[in-house]
Amino acid sequence: MIGLLQRVSEASVAVEGETVGAIGRGILVLVGVERGDTEAQAARLAGRLVAYRVFPDGSGRMNRSVADIGGGVLLVPQFTLAADTRKGTRASFTPAADPDTGLALFGALVEAVRARHAGPVATGRFGADMRVALVNDGPVTFWLRVAPPADP
So which residues are the catalytic ones? 78-80
- In contact, 11 and 76? CB cutoff 8 Å: no
**DSSP for 28-79, written as a single string:** EEEEE-BTT--HHHHHHHHHHHHH-EEEE-TTS-EEEEHHHHT-EEEEEE-G
**25 three-class SS:** coil
